[in-house]
Amino acid sequence: MKILMYNAVADELPYVKQWSEKTGHEVVTIDQPLNEETVDRASGFDAVSTQQTTSVNPPVYERLSQLNIKQIALRQVGYDVFDLPAAFANHVRLSNVAAYSPRAIAEYTLTQLFNLIRHNKKFDRAMAQGDYTWAAGGQAREIHDLTVTIIGVGRIGTALAEMLHALGAQVLGVDPVYRAQNEPFVTYTTLDEALRRADVISFHTPLNDETRGLADHAFFEKVQPGTIMLNFARGEIVDMTALESALASGQLAGAAFDVAPNENDFMDQKQTVDELPENIQRLVAYDNFLLSPHIAFYTNTAIKNMVEMALNDAVIMVNGGFTENEILR
């Protein structure tokens, strides 16, 4: 079987080589995403895989179908890049890698939470100027004293909840799906109740019609002053204007984001600070705002699993089989 891997990065290539040698399937890699300009590169292949933050628009599925390619294996969790009606109308099956390494994102979320409650950015900036006093950053909080609301208690949210519970934090969960196995370490409740009680709010929900723009001005009015916000899901979940207002007013004590609605304008690129989008320049100037370049997933275990799971799913779907990673709606 011949598989074309779109948007391959250098870190993936050793695992691609290992998988190809192990399975006997041929994998060709290119460094462009799947779109209207690159879809014809798939001619002569049996399957395709991609990872990207840019949309896969309706003409792509139609062209893949014409090329007799009936699937796309996505090497990431978030599948909001897909147009599901267009894919299904053209009989193109889709998969993602929801369980490639939930701990990777959970661990990084926890890392950034520690950075916020210990005021590490304030201390780092002060020490860079020679100020090594305690007052430069201020007193920290301890995590076992915190109530953390997790919005989206799927695989990643569950992994984070287990870690937080082990550290003594109280964990509240908001999710349309109740998972009884989480009861030992998550207390499920309503969104309004969770916001009222939270010291920390952490998003781990997919982007859909219900979650797009969820954290708007009205949302922030429901949180208690001094709350911390973490977003390691999708940028469009949070209204960035409302976020900036909440930081400026002190409604939020801090925030750590690994995503942004406009991240395609500057992430995975090198530029000067002055060339960043204006709202990003303002946000990163805050001592209590942390922004990382969509790297929460970025571990050796995660990259290996993403490659192997996506390629395995591609083979399964081409052969008419079924995978638990298939996106059905």
Q: Which residues are catalytic?
A: 234, 263, 294
CB 94, CB 78: distance < 8 Å: no
CA-to-CA distance for 317 and 12, rounded, in angstroms? Answer: 22
Which residues touch 329 (CB under 8 Å, ≥6 apart)? 84
CB atoms within 10 A of CB 267: 18
Please give the backbone phi and psi of residue 289, each rounded to the nearest 5 degrees, phi first. -125, 125
Q: Is residue 221 exposed (0-12), middle (13-18) or buried (19+ Cβ within 10 Å)?
A: exposed
Among 295, 244, 248, which residue's Cα sits nearest to residue 107?
295
Among 89, 48, 40, which residue's Cα sits nearest to residue 71?
48
β-strand pairing of 326-327 with 93-95 = antiparallel
CB 132, CB 182: distance < 8 Å: no
Residue with tokens 């050796």: 300
CB atoms within 10 A of CB 7: 20
